[in-house]
Chains A and B, each alone.
Chain A
C-alpha cells in the first residue's frame, strides 16, 4: 500500500557504471519529482514531470536523464557515475497545484565507489 515507492533503497556501484532508480506512485497524482539530498542534508530539486511532460529541469549534468512512461512512474537514469553523485535521491509526487505538499518516497542511497 506504499504511496510512493522507490527501488532500490540502496545502490552501491563503481565509477563509470550506468544505473537506474525507479519510482512509482499510486496516489493518482499528476506531478512527480526527483530531489537530491547531499551529505549535508541539503535538498535540491532536479526534475519534475507533470502528466508525462518535463516541466522542471534544473542545472543537472546531462548524465542524468529522467523518464516518465506514464504519470504514475518517473525513473531516473544516470550514466557514467562519478564519486560526486553519491547522495540520497528522493522521488516525490503531488497534485498539479502542489500546494498541499509532496508525498515522498523513502529515498535511494546511492554510493559510488
Chain B
C-alpha cells in the first residue's frame, strides 16, 4: 500500500530564513512521482514542486528545492529566503503510474513570521 507521512504538524520560520519540511513515503512500485502542494488561507491547492523517482537530481523551483533520498524514502522540501506569502499548509503527495490517484500526507502548517 502507498503511504505518505508528514511528521511535523506545525512549523514556523522567520522571514528570510530557510526552513525544511519533512516527508516520508512508502511504495512497492518502482515508477512513481512525488509532489509538494501548497494550500494558503485562500484554500487553493497549488503545485509547488515535482520529483520523478527515477531521476537522482533533486528538483528545484526558484526558492523551493527538495532533498530526495530514494533509499530512505524521504522527500523533504526546503524553502529558502522565506516570505510572508509562504504561510500555508504544505502537503506532500505520491503518485504511482497506473493508479490515477494521489496519496496525500496530513500536511504541515507553516507560518512565516515577520
Contacts and interface: CB of A to CB of B under 8 A. Distances in A.
Interface of A: 31, 33, 40-45, 48, 50, 55-56, 88, 90, 92, 97-104, 106-107, 109
Contacts of B46: 104
A99 B33 contact: yes
Contacts, number: 50
Interface residues of B, number: 21
Interface of B: 33, 35, 39, 42-47, 50, 52, 89, 91, 95, 97, 100-102, 104, 106-107
- Interface SS, A side: strand
Pick from A48, A88, A99, A106 the residue with the most CB of B within 10 Å. Answer: A99
A106 B42 CA distance: 8
Contact of A56 (B39, B44, B89, B100): B100
